[in-house]
Amino acid sequence: MSDAQGAVPPRLPHPPVFLPGLALFLDLDGVLAPLAPTPDAVGPDARRTAVLARLTQVLQGRAAVVSGRTLAEIDRISDGAARAASGVHGLERRRDDGALLRTTPSPAISQALQAFHAFAADRPGVLVEDKGLSAGLHFRQAPAEGVAATRLATDLAATTGLTLQPGSMVLELKTPGADKGTAVRAFMKEPPFLGAIPVMVGDDLTDEAGFEAVQGLGGFGVLVGPSRPTAARYQLPDVAAVLDWLEALAADAHKEAPDEA
């Protein structure tokens, strides 16, 4: 992605490792897990699970996965290591104490799903995902369908009142009322996140609301992947670099944490 003059933005510096008092908000796909051809192709990974479990421990619960996936999918992929989590772009949320909060689905989701299924019926590689609170149209395996898919999703958003959320080779029509930024701000009003310095790590346009939220709360965002215009302050190249950085953070935070009984 280029700026208005067509130039690619310069690569941002890597984030620091020494970060006392931080709270972490982590996207899943493209950040903790590599992007895959289909949503179901992403599964648990021992290193990812260990990193999430360790960070939750040493940060005393101040680590949350904030994803476009449902909470059930977050739990499947993280192997249950994500205690605090937000799914479907902020429309459902599990607090650190286990309490669940979920927006009421818009009745128009069924209309969007019907239109998406009709669109995908004669387009091999186009997939439809029903998240309950949203409808997703994936075209990673059929990139030539992107223009037509965007036109359909844009028209549906205008006629149904659903919120159009573009992602990485996916278009999502979701129940209005929340995004990743609202999820981050809600977490930051509650223990154990209250009073911490928030850090959001994300890779695509759905994460910009989270980057803006943490910046407004005195923290910063970390963009994963290629350079582009962003509200993030730092950058990491890929999932492997994210996991390396998180492991270093966990080791550093362990030095600062109270002695364990």
Rounded CA separation 248/194 (Å): 23
Which one from 27, 75, 96, 203 is the annotated catalytic residue? 27
∠ CA(22), CA(26), CA(31), 5° rounding?
Answer: 130
- Report the sign of the C-alpha dihedral through residues 41, 47, 50, 53, in that order: negative
| Structure-token pair, residue 91 | 């429309």
Which amino acid belongs to residue 244?
Answer: D
Active site residue 79: no
Amino acid occupying residue 8: V
Residue 132 amino acid letter? G
Contact 77, 107 (CB under 8 A): no
- Whole-angstrom distance, CA of residue 98 vs CA of residue 101: 10
| Phi–psi pair at 148, nearest 5 degrees | -65, -40
Residues β-bridged to residue 93? 86, 101
Decide if 49 contacts 78 (C-beta within 8 A). Answer: yes
Active-site amino acid positions: 27
